[in-house]
């Protein structure tokens, strides 16, 4: 049963109970009033008749013959003057009949009558000398009572109908907004997160509706945030390359934090400082300008404690210093740690939101979750780097080289862009190991790998192919371009002084190049580069040779 029906029946029942109670009370009051009336009239009759018969009753004990005519006249007058009196009878103290009017033969007994008796006494506390019995006709009173009850019933029916209608209207007034609220809640439960109630009354239902709308808005916002986090989590986790992870993480914090100024700082083991690796809204020289030790500045404190720090007004902060030394009046900061396996390895600094407000608890919760997702992505990237890079030189390993060569050849076939492959070998590296030891040889390999990373572009893929042999995949590079970049690398190595534990050394490398032609396979390009490199070795070392130049002369 609905609440509306319950309220309707409840109100109707109350109205009916009131009407029934009123009828019972009216009937009771009418009966009580009638009984009181009979009692007063009996006292009056007893007094009137008693004045005439009491002296004879007291003296003779029952002989009232001398007064019989007078008593009969009084009785007749009383009966005839009051149409509800059927009979009046006088009895002696032993209930022997003395006189009655009308005579018994003229009186018809029926059910619609009532008898009342009053004793004949000299005093209120004295003995009874006789009795007067009066038979009252109740027909008129019963009719009056029926008429009253009929009117009560009629009024009750009318008021019941009115009460039923009123109950329905009242119930509708109360339950209609509740039903609307119920329907809205059901709609919301069916994932229509835009559902809101339009109730705006100032009563308890209005307050309940307002609370529901506030709750629905918060849930909708939380679901939107969770959806955003899930989407960014999917995007971030799909990347393993560190540079791509950095780029995506920055984009995610810009969107989730609703900011136009932020920085991503990662811990550099070699410099033992937090360094900016990505961000937006920063000075161009920010990355080279800002390097923080543990405990230095807001970010350094976050790095030291592994706990987020929120600064509502940077202008009042003695710990944070901007590059320009100035802050907007309301600029705020929220710095979050990046933690993996219990170790803090970076900090995300988010500046004032685009709407000028500070970061609230909901922002902090969402951004903290995003920081956790980002931390996992960076850790996965680190593990991936360990899996695909050489532990000594930090260049890519041979397995990764073969994988990327296949991918680059497919891309070249699809786009038609050029692709070249460089293969390099350190000249006389065996002599270095034999003369100075493998530690010096390893130091040479490490320093040479740094030159590789410095000389080649970000899109180039330098790899340690094995021992002292290296390869570099050169996307978007034709024959002429590959020769130029290889010569630049050869010259950089030739001019570099390798400072080792054995002293200063000078090292040279020999290189071979090949450029993709339609139909060539990965292995064919590797063989061509290898052949060109050994041609450089045979030609005196410390030189660059392209495979096409070799084939034009002699292989």
Is residue 468 part of the annotated active site? The answer reads yes
d(CA 239, CA 258): 23
Q: How far, rounded to the nearest angstrom, does the alpha carbon of residue 254 sit from its chain's CA centroid?
A: 23
Task: State how far the Cα of 335 lies from the Cα of 295, in Å rounded to an integer.
Answer: 13
Work out the end-to-end distance of the chain between its first and last CA atoms, rounded to an integer number of angstroms.
98
Distance CA 547, CA 322 (A): 54
Q: Write out the two tokens for 211.
A: 């609370």
> Nearest 5 degrees, angle CA 125-CA 126-CA 129?
140
**Phi, then psi, of 369 in degrees rounded to 5:** -65, -40
Supply 265's token pair: 């700082």
Torsion of CA 102, 107, 113, 115, to 10 degrees: 50
Considering only the C-alpha atoms of the chain, give the largest distance between any 2 of them, rounded to a whole number of Å.
182
Cα separation, 206 vs 189, in Å, equals 20
Catalytic: which of 468, 487, 494, 552? 468
d(CA 6, CA 1): 7
Beta carbons of 332 and 359 less than 8 angstroms apart: yes
Strands lying side by side in the sheet with 97-101:
97-101, 85-92, 130-137, 113-120
Listing DSSP states for 125-150 in one string gives: TS---EEEEEEEE-HHHHHHHHHHHH
Place of tokens 């996992």: 376
Nearest CA to 359 out of 243, 502, 262 is that of 262
Number of other residues whose CB lies within 10 A of the CB of residue 233: 18
Give the separation between CA 401 and CA 390, rounded to whole angstroms: 11
H helix or E strand, kind and range, residue 463: strand 461-466
Which residues, including other chains, have CB under 8 Å from residue 200's CB and lie 6 or more apart? 206, 209
Q: What phi and psi values does residue 273 have, to the nearest 5 degrees?
A: -140, 155
Q: Which of 284, 240, 290 is nearest to 265 (CA)?
A: 290
Nearest to residue 324, comparing CAs of 332, 315, 316?
A: 315
**Residue 72 gets which letter from DSSP?**
H
Indicate the SS3 state at residue 166.
helix
Rounded to whole angstroms, the Cα distance separating 391 from 449 reads 12
- Directed axis angle between helix 3-60 and helix 139-189, to 10°? 160
DSSP 217-250: HHHHHHHHHHHHHHHHHHHHHT--SHHHHHHHHH
Catalytic residues: 468
């Amino acid at each position: 049963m609905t609440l509306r029906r319950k309220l309707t029946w409840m109100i109707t029942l109350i109205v009916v109970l009131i009407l029934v109670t009123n009828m019972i009370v009216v009937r009771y009051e009418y009966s009580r009033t009638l009984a009181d009336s009979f009692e007063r009239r009996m006292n009056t009759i007893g007094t009137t008749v008693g004045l005439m018969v009491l002296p004879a009753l007291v003296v003779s004990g029952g002989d009232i013959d001398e007064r019989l005519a007078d008593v009969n006249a009084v009785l007749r007058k009383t009966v005839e003057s009051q149409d509800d009196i059927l009979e009046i009878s006088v009895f002696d103290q032993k209930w022997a009949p003395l006189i009655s009017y009308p005579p018994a033969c003229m009186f018809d007994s029926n059910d619609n009558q009532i008898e009342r008796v009053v004793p004949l006494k000299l005093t209120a506390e004295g003995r009874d000398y006789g009795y007067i019995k009066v038979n009252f006709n109740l027909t008129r009173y019963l009719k009056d009572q029926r008429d009253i009850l009929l009117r009560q019933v009629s009024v009750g029916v009318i008021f019941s109908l009115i009460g039923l209608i009123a109950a329905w209207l009242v119930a509708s007034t109360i339950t209609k907004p509740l039903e609307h609220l119920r329907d809205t809640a059901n709609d919301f439960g069916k994932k229509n997160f835009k559902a809101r109630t339009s109730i705006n009354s100032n009563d308890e239902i209005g307050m309940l509706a307002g609370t529901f709308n506030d709750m629905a808005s918060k849930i909708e916002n939380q679901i939107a945030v969770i959806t955003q986090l899930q989407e960014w989590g999917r995007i971030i986790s799909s990347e393993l390359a560190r540079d791509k992870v950095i780029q995506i993480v920055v984009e995610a914090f810009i969107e989730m934090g609703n900011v136009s100024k932020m920085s991503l700082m990662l811990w550099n083991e070699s410099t033992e400082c937090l360094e900016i690796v990505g961000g937006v809204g920063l000075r161009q020289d920010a990355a080279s300008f800002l390097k923080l030790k543990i405990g230095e500045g807001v970010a350094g404190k976050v790095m030291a404690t592994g706990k987020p720090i929120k600064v509502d007004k940077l202008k009042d902060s003695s710990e944070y210093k901007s590059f320009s030394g100035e802050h907007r009046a309301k600029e705020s900061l929220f710095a979050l740690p990046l933690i993996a396996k219990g170790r803090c390895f970076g900090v995300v600094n988010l500046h004032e939101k685009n709407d000028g407000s500070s970061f609230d608890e909901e922002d902090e919760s969402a951004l903290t979750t995003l920081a956790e997702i980002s931390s996992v992505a960076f850790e996965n990237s680190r593990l991936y780097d360990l899996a695909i890079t050489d532990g000594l030189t930090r260049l890519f390993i041979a397995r990764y080289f073969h994988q990327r060569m296949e991918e680059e050849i497919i891309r070249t076939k699809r786009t038609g862009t050029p692709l070249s492959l460089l293969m390099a070998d350190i000249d006389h590296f065996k002599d270095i190991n034999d003369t100075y030891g493998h530690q010096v040889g390893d130091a040479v390999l490490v320093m040479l790998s740094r030159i590789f990373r410095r000389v080649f572009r970000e899109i180039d893929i330098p790899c340690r192919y094995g021992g002292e042999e290296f390869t570099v995949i050169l996307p978007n590079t034709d024959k002429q371009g590959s020769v130029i970049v290889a010569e630049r690398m050869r010259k950089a190595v030739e001019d570099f002084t390798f400072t080792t534990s054995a002293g200063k050394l000078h090292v040279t490398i020999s290189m071979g190049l090949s450029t993709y032609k339609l139909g060539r396979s990965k292995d064919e390009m590797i063989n061509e580069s290898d052949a060109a490199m050994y041609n450089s070795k045979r030609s005196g070392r410390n030189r660059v040779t392209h495979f096409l130049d070799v084939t034009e002369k002699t292989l």
